[in-house]
Amino acid sequence: MRNRNDYLATAMIEPGERQIGGIKLRPFSYGSMQLAYLFKLSLFTGEDETEQTDEEKQRQIVTFAWMQSAPIDEVVAAVHDGSAETRVLRFSLGITFDTIPELMAEINRIGEMVSASSVRAESKYPSSEDDAPGKS
C-alpha cells in the first residue's frame, strides 16, 4: 500500500496529459479543483457525504472528463455564460460505457493525490469566540 509521501512524490513527476478512451485529459490543477467546487463534483471535494445515485456519479465523471479535455477557453466561457451543463451533455454523447471505469480509476488516482497534498493549518494558539479580538 502506498503512503502519503509516495503519492506526493508521484504527483511531482506526473506526465503532462493522460489519454483515456480517446480523451486527452489535462493534468489536474489548482484551477481544476476550483472547477470541481463550481460544478459540485463531490468525488473531488468531498463536500456532499450523502449517498449518491449512479446517475449523479456518472454526471460527475463526465463533467470531470469534459472540464479536463475541452479547450480551456471553452470551459471558461461555459462557466461565465452558464452553458456548461449543455456542453457537458453534448460531450457525453461521445463517451462510451467502456470508458467510464477508466475515467473512474483516474478520478480515484487524482483524489488520492489531492488528499495527500492537502494541507490542514491549525493555529498553535488555542482560542474561542469568547477571547476573539474585540471581545471583553
pLDDT digits (tens, 9 = 90+) for 64-100: 999 999 999 999 999 999 999 999 999 999 988 888 8
Q: In this structure, how many other beta carbons lie within 10 angstroms of the beta carbon of residue 76?
A: 13
| Number of helices and strands in the chain (H, E) | 7, 2
Along the 136 residues of the chain, how does pLDDT read in single tens digits?
566 555 545 554 455 677 888 888 888 888 888 999 999 988 878 777 678 888 998 899 899 999 999 999 999 999 999 999 999 999 999 988 888 888 888 888 877 776 666 555 566 666 666 665 666 5
Angle (CA) 34-26-119 rounded to 5° is 45
With a CB cutoff of 8 Å and minimum separation 6, the contacts of 25 are 17, 18, 19, 65, 68, 69, 106
Extract the C-alpha cell encoding 45.
Answer: 471535494
Q: What is the CA radius of gyration of the chain?
A: 18
Extract the C-alpha cell encoding 30.
Answer: 489548482
Instruction: From 48, 34, 45, select the one nearest 107 (Cα to Cα).
Output: 45
pLDDT for the residue numbered 111:
73
The rounded distance, in Å, linking the Cα atoms of 106 and 66 is: 14
